[in-house]
Structure 1
Amino acid sequence: MIESGRILPGEKLLEAQVAKSFSISRSPARSALAALCADKLLTESEGRGYLVAGRSSGCPDGRSATLDKLELTSTPQWERMYAAVERELCTRVLFGSVRITEERLAQHFNVSRTVARDVMARMHSVGALSKDRIGHWVAERVTAERIGHLFEMRRLLEPTALIHAAPFVSREKLGIMRERLAAEIARGGSDMDTAETDLHIDLLSHCPNREIVQALARTHVLFVPTRYLADPYLSIPGELIDNALAEHLRVFDALLAGKPARAARELQKHLDEADTRWMLRFDLVSRLEQPELPPYLSAIPS
């Protein structure tokens, strides 16, 4: 606004005015004004506020500037750090259980404890974190037994959920999901996360039996590593990813053919293969050296 002449030399800016105009708190408004001062676009007023630098063209110095109303759109702090923490936890729990400390998490990412607490609460909501008997936040080791139990739930519930959901999903939506899947296969399958979300979360969310949908939410923790297939600890061989996407495609083709029972059988086969692929992760990790823990995580003795 200063550079375009909408705010004129000699006009005054106040911290509260900037905060209100940009719908932000006073702290970032104060930082922004200080940065403009350092860049010599503003000078500190003898009274309150800041004056726009430069020679005024006839208007009295110190007149309050008129600011355009502007809603800033930015990624929340918790969201910017969530992926990094999630990826770290996904790796660590393959080796053992870990405890996460709120204060150290906040210090490591240079955020407030409120932001750190928000990240941990969101991870708790998807089953990535839980509290131990004395109230510490922990991420439990992902054992072969636990994975087996989660896949058992999925084999029992997902095919039924798919049959129930099928009448409530339009052909248009199915077609869009299939096109997205086919495009991903053509690209080489680097975005497995979208494919998993389309089939196992979005599609099954149309199941009218909400008890099944809520029960399946506990198994969504299995999908997290698919966001990080480039990670040496979380990856699976490329040919197995190709197989998984082809299995997804057969489910969608059966649904689009109007054969939900066949789609459920294809889904059952896919889940059997997915269980095997997850177990392969344990075999791969057993050959790797455990990386050093970040300061906000500590190992829990087994």
Structure 2
Amino acid sequence: MDANQIASLSDQVRARLEELIRSGAIQPGERLVELQLARVFAVSRSPVRRALVELEAGGLITSQGRRGYLVNGEARSDSGGSAHVDDINLDQSRHWERIYASVEQDVLTQMLYQPIKINEVRLAEHFEVSRTVTRDVLARMHGLGLIAKSRSGAWIANQLTSDTIRDLYELRELLEPRALKLVAPRLEPRQIEQAKMRIREILRNEIVDGASFDRIERDLHIDIIGACPNKEIVTALKRTHVLFAPTRHLLDPVLGIPLSQIEDALKEHLEILEHLASGSAKAAADHLAAHLSGAIDRWLGRLDHAGPSCVTPMPVYLSAFKI
């Protein structure tokens, strides 16, 4: 796990229990029960179960099967009951941010080829987070229009059809050039120059990895456009971000992307950035409009070229959904 990320719930549960055992707050001979601990920590049973397994591997507790775990050590004669642990609040303040990108990518990749359903309980167990965290993630995706509630109350994502893709591109054609004009005077020259450098670096290679191409897309269409001072435009465009998320998974992770497939798009990006660098906001916006007009068929072409075989396996919290 990245050092900047919060420890997983199981890591936090294990650390707190280990601290309580070593300090004597939980004493030898006392019993740790999975369900009770899940209530104490206000989490699902999955991270508690993993934490207990790790504590047993570390020699601090011993499994008693369905009766829970006994704390190892010399027990007092009156010990043997369940350990008393006051409610403990774990740090989950940024957990939704830690898992959001992964959940969004899984959902968007699968919905290119079929409608899907999201199991909220399995989602929480898969990422070892509380239901509160998963609700935050799903609420954010719902706010962006990526998922919706079915009549039965389940979270679903409809298939992203070619008609929907064309509609989203039309929205981008209407809004992105205007957003670029508005943000142009506010852009830092260094940001533009770094984006240009990344494109030139890619153009020197014959094969491009999906992540690098994704970064090029983000530089212009998300980072620069997203800094537009008209936040209503920015909010409306977030609905179109569904077009960016799947790209890195539509391409062979080993073979990469042949430069010939994306060279025109890269050169168009570079030309737009050149106009921004020279202070020609109108020319940049006009070239962006032309770029988006030609990008629809390129996007659909990459999707057809990739085919369902390039889609990653469906995670346990997703399933096919019949409308």
TM-score (norm 1): 0.68
Q: Corresponding residue for 1:29?
A: 16
Q: Offset of 1:301 from its aligned partner? A: 1.8
Distance in 1, Cα, partners of 2:125 & 2:201: 41
Report the more deviating stretch, 114-123 or 130-139: 114-123
Which of 168, 172, 181 pairs up with 2:190? 172
Distance in 2, Cα, partners of 1:221 & 1:133: 24
Matching residue's letter, 1:28: A
1:245 equivalent in alignment to 2:248 = no
Distance in 2, Cα, partners of 1:289 & 1:226: 11
Computed over aligned residues only, the root mean square deviation of the Cα atoms, in angstroms, reads 3.5
Distance change >3 Å, CA 172–CA 45, structure 1 → 2? farther
Q: What are the residue-to-residue correspondences of 1:32-43 with 2, within 5 Å?
A: 35=55, 38=58
Q: Corresponding residue for 1:161?
A: 179
Distance in 2, Cα, partners of 1:107 & 1:37: 21
8 A Cα contact 1:102 1:113, kept in partner: yes
Q: For 2:117, what is the secondary structure of its paired residue? A: strand
Q: For 1:96, what is the secondary structure of its paired residue? A: coil
Q: What are the residue-to-residue correspondences of 1:60-71 with 2, within 5 Å?
A: none
- Structure 1, unmatched stretches of 5+, are 1-23, 48-72
TM-score (norm 2): 0.64
Report the more deviating stretch, 275-284 or 145-154: 275-284
Distance change >3 Å, CA 209–CA 105, structure 1 → 2? closer
Which of 185, 193, 199 pairs up with 1:181? 199
Which of 290, 299, 302 pairs up with 2:320? 299
User: Which of structure 1's runs of 4+ aligned residues deviate more than 6 A?
Assistant: 289-292
Q: Corresponding residue for 1:132?
A: 150
Distance in 2, Cα, partners of 1:294 & 1:37: 28
Matching residue's letter, 1:226: T
Deviations 1:125-177 (A, max 9, x none): 44332223443211111011111110001111111111121111132332233
Q: Offset of 1:75 from its aligned partner? A: 11
Matching residue's letter, 1:138: I
Aligned residues: 250
- Structure 2, unmatched stretches of 5+, are 1-10, 22-54, 61-71, 77-90
1:205 equivalent in alignment to 2:226 = yes
Q: For 2:15, what is the secondary structure of its paired residue? A: helix
Matching residue's letter, 2:319: S
Which of 80, 85, 97 pairs up with 2:115? 97
Distance in 2, Cα, partners of 1:209 & 1:97: 33
Distance in 1, Cα, partners of 2:18 & 2:165: 48
Which of 255, 262, 269 pairs up with 2:290? 269
Q: Offset of 1:25 from its aligned partner? A: 5.9
Q: Percent identity?
A: 40
Matching residue's letter, 1:296: Y
Larger radius of gyration: 1
8 A Cα contact 1:189 1:241, kept in partner: no
Matching residue's letter, 1:254: H
Distance change >3 Å, CA 278–CA 75, structure 1 → 2? farther
Distance in 2, Cα, partners of 1:291 & 1:205: 29
Q: For 1:138, what is the secondary structure of its paired residue? A: strand
